[in-house]
Amino acid sequence: MPSHLNFLAVALYAGSFVCYVGVLYAPRVWLGRVATLLLVAGMASHYFALLARSHGTHTVPYNDLYGSMSLFAWLLGLTYLGLEILHRQRSVGAFVTLLLLVWLSVLAVVTPAEMPAPPPARGPLFAFHVTLNTWAYAAFALSFVLSLIYLVQDRVLRSHHPGAVFWRFPALDVLDRMSRSSVAVGLAALCVGVVSGLIWRHRLTGAYSYGDPKVIVTLLILAVYVAYLQLSRSAGWRGARAAWLCALNFLVVLFSYTIVNLYWTSFHRFF
């Protein structure tokens, strides 16, 4: 059982969170590096826990709530690490690691962590499809968090009454750029993921399943995120309005991930 690896990952994420909070209080380079290293170490531990689970089920974790949510959290962390390196910005790290911590802790409490029975073999293309779509959702979740911070920061700036925490928040420009990068990663993953899913389905049944509610909602999500990327650089939408659009579209993602998966489509119901 990889439970000890999960515990280790949570402990390392907690250490990383503490260091990222320290960076918010005093931007010391060495502390930021320690925060990143702890996050990388936590993700390595988390990866081996997921790997052990994958070996047990002979596929990527997708057919049980614990496994798929854990994979989601790992991909969220991975996306954040990419953004941190790309934008050379650590001021969001505290929020992301807190999200990871809460996510994994809640997961550990509310879902059974024991290994599920292996699902029917569906092949590597299917695993690729599932992984990429989960990655897309994780990237969209990250952009959702960034957009919410943007909206709070914008409101505080307009209120003219900045509190103690305000001076520690990332700048609007940084949040905007990171959110767009995150959505771009999510869109790329979703496009390839959807196409690989369609191909896999075609191989299996000889037909493309355009009418599947999951596909329709996913295409809607995709269209809104493309619009977000475009509008976030236009005069009337740049800034808070684009952040609202991004945040609201993530609610559709959640809807797709839960209601659509569980009640509207039989093809994407895994647990």
Partner 1 sequence: MAALPNTKVSSAGSLHGRIEIALVGTSHHTAPLEVRERIAFTAEQSLEASRELRQRGVLEEAVVVSTCNRSELYGVPSAEMPDVTGAMRDFLASFHGMPRAELDRHIYCWSGADAVRHLFRVAAGLDSMLLGEAEILGQLRSAYGQALDRGFTGPVLNRIFQGALEVGKRVRAETEVGARPMSVALAGVKLAERVFGNLRGRSALIVGAGEVAEQVVEHLRNRQIGSLRVINRSWDRAAELASRMGGEAVAWEKLSEVVASPDIIVTSVASEKPVLTREMLSRALGARGGRPIFIIDLGVPRNVAPEVAGLYNLYLYNIGDLGEIVEQNKRAREAEIPRAEAIIAEHLGRFEAWRTALEAGSIVDELRERFRQHREVLLRERLASLEHLSAEDRQRIAGITEEFIERVLHEPTERLRNGRAMRGRLGAIEALRHLFALDEKGEGGEDRE
The C-alpha atoms of residue 16 and residue 20 are separated, in whole angstroms, by 6
Among 15, 61, 170, 186, binds partner 1 (CB under 8 A): 170
Residue 230 near partner 1 by CB under 8 A: no
Contacts of 103 (CB under 8 A, 6+ apart): 69, 72, 73, 76
Stretch that binds partner 1, among 24-32, 123-131, 199-207, 243-251 (CB under 8 A): 24-32
HEC-encoded secondary structure of 89-126? CCCCHHHHHHHHHHHHHHHHHHCCCCCCCCCCCCCHHH
- Residue 46 CA to residue 30 CA, distance in Å, equals 24
Region of 50-58, 68-76, 124-132, 150-158 interacting with partner 1 (CB under 8 A): 150-158
Scanning residues 238 to 267, which ones bind partner 1 (CB under 8 A)? 238-241
CB of 56 to partner 1, least distance (A): 45
By three-state DSSP, how is residue 215 classified? helix
Can residue 182 be called a binding residue for partner 1 (CB under 8 A)? Answer: no
Rg for the chain (alpha carbons), in Å? 19
**Minimal distance, residue 157 CB to partner 1, in Å:** 6
Residues in the chain: 271
Q: How far is the CB of 62 from partner 1 (least distance, A)?
A: 38
100 binds partner 1 (CB under 8 A): no
Q: Per CB under 8 A, does 33 bind partner 1?
A: no
Would you tell me which residues interact with partner 1 (CB under 8 A)?
25-26, 28, 153, 157-158, 160-162, 164, 166-167, 169-174, 233-241
